[in-house]
């Protein structure tokens, strides 16, 4: 990962998006823009260099509540993307912060926020990305798992962690089953078993 990752701005207000893009570009970041979830996901798939997403929770078609923003964050997390998501929102702060944390956002900023604070969050996210990249080279993969003590208990948690780890390793190795098996310390046949078990397909 380079020192300055590319940034994706997901914001439905064109004025605000333009202003924030201007500030980020003046700080020498490469910025991409999306006004809704589908465009954001397309850009993230097409441009792996995007390391940081600044996400507004109030997106169309539900610009006045957090549901679409949360759905966007969930979709990003579901695709096991390595990018860090910074939530910048003017929605109900308590509910938005809770959802952001629950769904694995890297940081949460409430509007209105100074550019210094936004840049601080970007710098922290950049540092995390760099360090995770270094750890990855050492064979350490960081996964995020939301654990809820319920009937499944440890068993459910283990299955969730196992699935995320397998998905992430496959993604990192470009779906190279041999390399993935080697990193996970299992046989190649086991990788096929996991892929079948978790319904992982090559073109994901």
- Residues making contact with another protein (CB under 8 A): 13-16, 18-23, 25-26, 35-36, 38, 58, 60-65, 88, 90-91, 111-116
Which is nearer to another protein, 14 or 153 (by Cβ)?
A: 14
Rounded to the nearest whole angstrom, what is the least distance from the CB of residue 34 to another protein in the complex?
A: 11
Rounded to the nearest whole angstrom, what is the least distance from the CB of residue 68 to another protein in the complex?
A: 9
Which is nearer to another protein, 38 or 146 (by Cβ)?
A: 38
Instruction: Phi first, then psi: give them for residue 86, nearest 5 degrees.
Output: -105, 120
Structure tokens at 197: 């078990």
- Would you call 148 exposed, middle or buried from its count of C-beta atoms within 10 A (0-12, 13-18, 19+)? exposed
Q: Whole-angstrom Cα distance, residue 104 to residue 74?
A: 8
Alpha helix segments (H runs only) across 27-152? 37-46, 67-78, 93-102, 115-137
Rounded to the nearest whole angstrom, what is the least distance from the CB of residue 30 to another protein in the complex?
A: 15
Rounded to the nearest whole angstrom, what is the least distance from the CB of residue 59 to another protein in the complex?
A: 9
Q: Whole-angstrom Cα distance, residue 136 to residue 7?
A: 21
Which is nearer to another protein, 15 or 149 (by Cβ)?
A: 15
Which is nearer to another protein, 18 or 148 (by Cβ)?
A: 18
The β-bridge partners of 8 are 32, 53
Rounded to the nearest whole angstrom, what is the least distance from the CB of residue 153 to another protein in the complex?
A: 37
Which is nearer to another protein, 26 or 149 (by Cβ)?
A: 26
Q: Whole-angstrom Cα distance, residue 110 to residue 113?
A: 6
């Amino acid at each position: 990962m380079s020192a300055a990752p590319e940034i994706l701005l997901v914001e439905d207000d064109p004025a605000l998006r333009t202003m924030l893009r201007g500030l980020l570009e003046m700080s020498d970041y490469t910025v991409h823009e999306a006004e809704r979830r589908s465009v954001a996901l397309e850009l993230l798939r097409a441009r792996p260099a995007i390391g940081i997403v600044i996400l507004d929770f109030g997106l169309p078609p539900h610009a006045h509540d957090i549901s679409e923003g949360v759905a966007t964050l969930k979709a990003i997390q579901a695709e096991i993307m390595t990018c860090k998501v910074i939530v910048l929102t003017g929605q109900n702060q308590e509910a938005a912060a809770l959802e952001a944390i629950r769904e694995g956002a890297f940081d949460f900023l409430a509007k209105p926020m100074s550019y210094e604070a936004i840049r601080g969050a970007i710098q922290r996210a950049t540092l995390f990305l760099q360090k995770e990249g270094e750890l990855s080279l050492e064979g350490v993969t960081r996964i995020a798992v939301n654990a809820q003590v319920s009937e499944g208990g440890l068993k459910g948690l283990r299955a969730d962690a196992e699935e995320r780890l397998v998905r992430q390793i496959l993604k990192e190795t470009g779906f190279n089953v041999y390399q993935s098996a080697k990193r996970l310390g299992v046989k190649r046949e086991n990788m096929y078993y996991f892929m079948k078990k978790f319904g992982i397909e090559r073109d994901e």
